[in-house]
Chains A and B, each alone.
Chain A
């Protein structure tokens, strides 16, 4: 009974950590540019595919992850520079479609480069399950949760302790004022895309041994990440992390106790229920509109 619950919690936290990273990515970009980047899932895919295919051709794992991460960051910066920044003053829907166009484009390129089939990446430290009070856990889960935790703490420190991070925060509060005090807001937008891409790509690489990598792996992960970000309140970093973990755990519990077929629906039922009562998410600020 307890072992079963623990089992579901563990697997929920594992996948929730990935949702949290994706959600954080959505929030960082949203803060810098007020864009919802629907290509966030593709950053995860690039990380997963690059590390799986590169290790298969003999590249050491850390280097493979690094290359995947760098590639995703480059792609993120290109999307920001050539698509998003050029359409600065376009409406919300237009910007959404630009990022969706980018995600279709990236999936197309990935299919061309890596093919359509599933790629396998070996677990980082073996497959012997760890026993924990009756529940068993893949060692890879520890990698996922550990990496996510380190990244999240690092992001927190970056935004609160470094000048670049503070400049990015300032831009999110007031773009014009930030510009007036000499912050290069265009570079902030590029940096936010690079940062989100790196988060996604590392997430994709560590989760790949559990989920396999394929060119469409980013679609659902990306949408769940968006759900996590909205659940926590758009642009609220810690909220996105909490949102990701809530979605992951709820999904695992739903799959375990209710119906595994409806696993993917759980996240969206939760978000609808929450938005019904809290239109700005769990931790979002209530805004006032200027006429």
Chain B
């Protein structure tokens, strides 16, 4: 127990320290921008990892929730002039309710059927965003008002970096606590064997719904803030490929590892930037890297690397 607590705090502090000193090493706003995007992705992935890695449920539609959050902020704070904080909360509440309503019937499904259902939801959301152009600006997207809170406007990469950094820190802290709580143990039981978990008295349905809703709300909040930061959102942020990208980040970094999800998000946000030097070969290299990582490190990056460190040093 002592060790788990110790390990949890070390990881969190290490991540906090990295977030704190990183800006000193980033030469200009371009790098800060990439770091911010990685941070937004990491927030979504930490939530998604709770669902995929701990509850063992696949979602191929989380970009839909991200998109709803983003467009809630864009439409409510822009077109209807709501205060951005209210718009963000409204988006999060709506996504939470939506996730709650669809979760019960959907999470009864298993494996590939669940993948299909969540994929369907994500695609429907992105088609609605693309089509209702009166509200959303259609395929070209819409501009989003800057984020104002207490009369202060959040402006510039440096400010947003700290906002996203703080959000990521909070989300990671929250999920680490969740994993070590009785609920976290219940979730791992659900992942191990749902039937067995039920037999020993775990209310599997309730836990799965709760995690599904939580991860959807994380995605929505990240979407809202991203919309304000970027100032422009397009339906592409909600489509199938974005969902796939998010799942890939989680699995690439390492399922059932919160820091793995963060690492996966950071690496796969950086990767396309690095791959621009391959130009026409970019997609080929990306596809090859995905396949190779999953074939040779099926547990993901971080758990595989962690297994290389001798056990006694970790204890």
Residues of A within 8 A of B (CB): 30, 36, 82-83, 86-87, 89-98, 100-109, 111-112, 219, 223, 226-227, 230, 234, 259, 261-262, 264-265, 268-269, 271-272, 275-276, 279-281, 289, 291
**Contact flags B252-292 to A (C-beta < 8 A → 1, else 0):** 10010000000000000000000000001111111111110
Instruction: Identify which of B120, B199, B248, B285 contacts A271 (C-beta below 8 A).
Output: B120
Interface hits, B115-160 → A, CB 8 Å: 115-117, 119-121, 123-124, 127-128, 131
The answer on a CB contact under 8 Å between B290 and A230 is: no
Residues in A neighbouring B105, C-beta threshold 8 A: 275-276
The answer on a CB contact under 8 Å between A291 and B196 is: yes
Residues in A neighbouring B298, C-beta threshold 8 A: 87, 89-91, 94
The answer on a CB contact under 8 Å between B123 and A264 is: yes
Instruction: Identify which of B110, B127, B282, B290 contacts A98 (C-beta below 8 A).
Output: B290
Q: How far is the CA of A227 from the CA of B119 in the complex (A)?
A: 10
Once A108-B281, A108-B282 are accepted as A-B contacts, the answer to whether A265 and B127 lie under 8 Å apart by CB is: yes
Residues in B neighbouring A91, C-beta threshold 8 A: 255, 298
The answer on a CB contact under 8 Å between B290 and A96 is: no
The answer on a CB contact under 8 Å between B291 and A223 is: no
The answer on a CB contact under 8 Å between B280 and A36 is: no
The answer on a CB contact under 8 Å between A97 and B117 is: no
The answer on a CB contact under 8 Å between A291 and B109 is: no
The answer on a CB contact under 8 Å between B117 and A272 is: yes
The answer on a CB contact under 8 Å between B251 and A93 is: yes
The answer on a CB contact under 8 Å between B112 and A104 is: no
Instruction: Identify which of B52, B116, B280 contacts A230 (C-beta below 8 A).
Output: B116
* Further pairs besides A94-B251, A102-B287, A104-B290: 18, Cβ < 8 Å: A83-B291, A91-B255, A93-B251, A96-B115, A96-B247, A98-B295, A101-B291, A102-B291, A103-B287, A107-B283, A108-B282, A111-B280, A219-B240, A223-B123, A223-B240, A227-B120, A271-B117, A279-B110
Instruction: Identify which of A108, A230, A264 contacts B112 (C-beta below 8 A).
Output: A230
Q: List 27 A-B contacts (CB under 8 A).
A: A87-B294, A87-B295, A87-B298, A93-B58, A93-B251, A94-B251, A96-B58, A96-B247, A97-B290, A98-B290, A100-B290, A101-B288, A101-B294, A104-B283, A104-B287, A107-B283, A108-B283, A112-B280, A226-B116, A230-B116, A259-B131, A261-B127, A265-B124, A268-B124, A275-B105, A276-B105, A291-B193
Residues in B neighbouring A90, C-beta threshold 8 A: 294, 298
The answer on a CB contact under 8 Å between A105 and B117 is: no
Count residues on chain B whose CB falls below 8 Å from chain A CBs.
48
The answer on a CB contact under 8 Å between A271 and B116 is: yes
The answer on a CB contact under 8 Å between B109 and A275 is: yes
Residues in B neighbouring A94, C-beta threshold 8 A: 251, 294, 298
Chain A residue, CB-CB nearest to B132: A261
Instruction: Identify which of A100, A219, A276, A291 contacts B248 (C-beta below 8 A).
Output: A100
Q: How far is the CA of A261 from the CA of B117 in the complex (A)?
A: 21
Chain A residue, CB-CB nearest to B244: A100
Once A104-B286, A108-B283, A112-B280 are accepted as A-B contacts, the answer to whether A289 and B194 lie under 8 Å apart by CB is: yes
The answer on a CB contact under 8 Å between B112 and A36 is: yes
The answer on a CB contact under 8 Å between A86 and B123 is: no
Instruction: State the Cβ distance, B181 to closest chain A Cβ, in Å.
Output: 24
Q: How far is the CA of A22 from the CA of B124 in the complex (A)?
A: 21
Once A93-B52, A100-B244, A264-B127 are accepted as A-B contacts, the answer to whether A108 and B116 lie under 8 Å apart by CB is: no
Residues in B neighbouring A262, C-beta threshold 8 A: 127, 131
